[in-house]
Amino acid sequence: MASTNRSSKTFIIQQGMRNYSWRKSVNSLWIREEIWRFINCALWKNKLHSRVITTTRNVSVSEACLSSSDDMIHKMKPLSDEDSRILFHRRIFQSEEKCSEDLRVVSTNILKKCGGVPLAIITIASLLVSGQRIKQKDEWMHVHNLMGRGVTQGGIVKDMKRILSLSYYDLPSHLKTCLLYLSIFPEDFEIVKDWLIWRWLAEGFIHCDKKETSLFEIGESYFNELMNRSLIQPANINEEGTVTTCRIHDMVLDLICSLASEENFISILDNAEWHAPNLQRKLRRLSLHNIKAKVQNHQFDSTSLSKVRTFAVFSPVTCDWLPSLSSFQFLRVLDLGNCDSRKSSSGITLKYVGNLIHLRYLGLKDADVCELPMDIGKLQLLQTLDIEGTRIEELPSTVVQLRNLICLCVNYTVRLPKGMGSLMSLEVLQQVGLSSSPHIVEELSHLTEVRTLSVDCANMDEDLIDILIKSLGNLHKLQNLCIVDGGRLNDRMGESWVPPPNLRSFDSWYPASSLWFSRLPKWVNSMSLPHLSTLVIYVEELQGDDIQIIGMLPALRFLRLRASRVMGTLVVRADAFPSAKCCMFRGFPTAPCLFPPGAMQRVQRLKFVVSASSIESGDVDCALGHLPSLEHLQVCLQRENSSDEEIETAKAWLRRAAEAHPKRPTIEIKHNYWELTL
């Protein structure tokens, strides 16, 4: 970074901080002391009790961070023997009591070599479990011997690398390749699971002999196996309990970056410095990180780029100096979603993209791209095309020639060409606006491989409603369906649509109550939807037994139910909601006391509406006690005719009920039902 540029950025940061009390955290600080000094200069020193917290493994950096006598260094202590044992046994056996006597001695010896380091304990514990099977004692002894001296006080980083390598070399070859590929991402980068799997698929890392099995689902099993071995960590888990994004621990990243570099698997250009032994060698996968200095085009030698299989950008770099697409001859993955094209003379140019005949993944999410070239139809091997968040208004007619396309993500306003029904390999089709592309309604019936579909029905011609229902009925492999602004489609769909047997998610939401389902659809029952895990549905009129009907869905984990009115008395049995983790009831009054003991035993997050006048002493405590897994409670407290004093009394009762619960769930109290969030 040039000194003038650095000074201007420092000034901007300081101006934004000078009048506030702030807290800043600088994590995983491997940086040199002079880098810390630059960071420190940018932090405005005021008298508003502001604080900076840094984490580092470099003692000299921690000492350099001390700027006053009030500053202190906190040295993290290793886990105690007892805490180490609890962590180890819970990872393997779920509880310490389940550890057999013949494994206790060897587990104690293994823990001694872990030195109280949580990452070492989790890594080794994950290594001792293969799927659902706990390995035998002789295998435990073998792992113990491979650990050598274990983690020592003076060489934690080096010793941890050796321990982590045990997990790496224990992987089957296909998982080793998938794990090495993760070194393409920057440190602390939040990796979207689905897009990682599509990239694995594009690289040819996922294989399956059975044609009826989805390669994406095979990729999900790879992802889950790496998760189970603690080599990747969940970053975001949705309300359904599914991991949607992940991160890599920086020590795991150090290991796989080292291995990837040794094998010339991935090369990284980071701040104009090559993280590869030899710039002149043939590059196989190239990733750009944190580019701050302008890199001249001649640094990208066309010879070195000719064999590149993946080119990805993870930095807001100026796209003017990106290499020409004509430099790539064997490119399989192209991800330009992070280019900062606002600083370029013209947006991202996709000239020559039609020459990338080996391309399987084209990621342009949120990129400043206005159009796709007509020659995109030449990409006969393309599997994934993501233009979500771009300025593209229409797909070229040649897109219908992409017969191997599996995943297509657009914007609801994008116009699709006629002939989309020929893309019979499609499994994912997201954000399709039916009013802008009415012909797609009938063509959907030909896309029989689709598993995930999201459509916007706003302003759709009413004459197309029955055609759409018929097309949806032909999608027998559909697992996830999202309908936005269904309008008059709802009741017709509630009467005549037969959902596919493997439907896992049904999400329908509408901005106006006049567009909701008039009643709960007949097909919402345990016989029709045995695998449904997510249900988002808005109903005008709720019948007394509707919640019980929903509660009998055996696989339901996430529910968002909104209704305008309730007819009769709501009835729920003790066996309702056996798998539910998160439930939200909105627009109508209810309370935990509606659910008798035995119902909602796994619910962790509950959100509901209740009137202040209905809360009575003792009832709330008992009701919350029926929900043993409760972790978070969000309540909309309706005022109605209650006084301020009654409102405060009701709040106090709710808070006391939460405090009395064995798990002491957090509680949020709102005053408008639309404030209830997920």
Neighbours of 82 (CB within 10 A): 9
| Same domain as 177, residue 165 | no
Flag whether 201 is in a domain: yes
CB burial readout 229-247, b (16+ within 10 A) else e:
bbbbeebeeebbebbebbb
Please check whether residue 491 is in contact with residue 518, taking contact to mean a CB–CB distance below 8 angstroms.
yes
Which residues lie closer than 8 Å to 600 by C-beta, 6 or more apart? Answer: 576, 577, 580, 583, 606, 626, 627
pLDDT of 478: 97
Q: Which amino acid is at 195?
A: W
> For residue 365, what are its two tokens?
């999410």
Q: Please report whether residue 585 resides in a domain.
A: yes
Do 569 and 676 have their domain in common? yes
CA distance 329 to 308: 8
Contact residues for 138 (Cβ-Cβ < 8 A; gap 6+)? none
**Cα–chain center distance at 513:** 31
> For each successive 10 residues of the chain (678 residues), what is the average pLDDT?
48 53 54 58 58 69 68 76 84 78 83 83 83 79 81 70 87 95 91 96 89 86 93 88 91 90 87 51 82 52 78 73 81 84 61 93 91 95 96 95 97 95 96 93 96 91 90 96 82 87 89 72 95 94 93 96 88 92 88 84 90 64 81 85 82 89 90 60
Residue 8 lies in a domain: yes
How many other CB atoms sit within 10 Å of the CB of residue 288?
A: 21
Q: Is residue 511 part of a domain?
A: no
Residue 283 makes CB contacts below 8 A (sequence gap 6+) with 264, 267, 276, 304, 305, 307, 308
Whole-angstrom CA distances from 466 to 316, 374, 469, 495 are 46, 34, 5, 11
Can you list the positions of beta strands (E) in 30-99?
51-56
One domain, residues 587 and 676 = yes
Q: Is 11 helix (H, G, I), strand (E, B) or coil?
A: helix
Give me the pLDDT at residue 317, please. 60
Q: Could you tell me if 152 and 198 lie in one domain? A: no
Do residues 32 and 100 both lie within one domain? no
Of 149, 169, 189, the residue that ends a domain is: 169
User: Are 229 and 150 spatial neighbours (Cβ–Cβ below 8 Å)?
Assistant: no
Q: Are residues 184 and 234 in the same domain?
A: yes
Distance CA 600, CA 578 (A): 6
Measured between alpha carbons, how far is 312 from 315 in angstroms, rounded to an integer? 9
Same domain, 161 and 85: yes
Residues 223, 185 share a domain? yes
Residue 575 located in a structural domain? yes
Domain co-membership, 190 together with 213? yes
567 is a domain residue = yes
Total domain count, the chain:
4
**Backbone conformation region of residue 415, classed left if phi is above 0, alpha if psi is from -120 to 50, else beta:** beta
* Maximum Cα–Cα distance across the chain: 78
Degrees (nearest 5) of the Cα angle 496, 501, 507?
Answer: 70
Residue 140 CB: number of other CB atoms within 10 A? 22
- Same-domain pairing of 155 and 186: no
The contacts of residue 278 (CB under 8 Å, 6+ apart) are none
The answer to whether residue 579 is domain-embedded is yes
By DSSP bridging, strand 243-247 and strand 191-192 are antiparallel
Q: Kindly state the tokens that stand for 134.
A: 């706990």
For 306, how many CA atoms within 13 A lie in the half-sphere containing its CB? Answer: 7
The letter for the amino acid at 161 is: K
Of the three residues 256, 277, 302, the one that is the final residue of a domain is: 256
Q: Do 143 and 239 fall into the same domain?
A: no
72 by Cβ neighbours in 10 Å (0-12 / 13-18 / 19+) ranks as exposed
- Sign of CA pseudo-dihedral 567, 570, 571, 577: positive
Question: Hey, how many other C-beta atoms are within 10 angstroms of the C-beta on 551?
Answer: 22
**CA–CA dist 199, 194 (Å, integer):** 9
> Which domain does 14 fall in, by range?
3-64
Residue 499 lies in a domain: no
User: For residue 496, which amino acid is it?
Assistant: S
Question: Is residue 600 located within the same domain as residue 574?
Answer: yes
Beta strand pairing status for 273-275 and 285-289? unpaired
Q: Which CATH number is 200's domain given? A: 1.10.10
| Last residue of one domain, picked from the residues 256, 279, 312 | 256
Residue keyed to tokens 């916007």 = 456
Whats the size of the chain, residue-wise? Answer: 678
Q: What is the DSSP string of 112-148?
A: HHHTT-HHHHHHHHHHTEETTEEPPHHHHHHHHHHTT
How far is 143 from 107, CA to CA, in rounded Å?
11
Q: Is 633 helix (H, G, I), strand (E, B) or coil?
A: strand
Tokens of 377: 């139809």
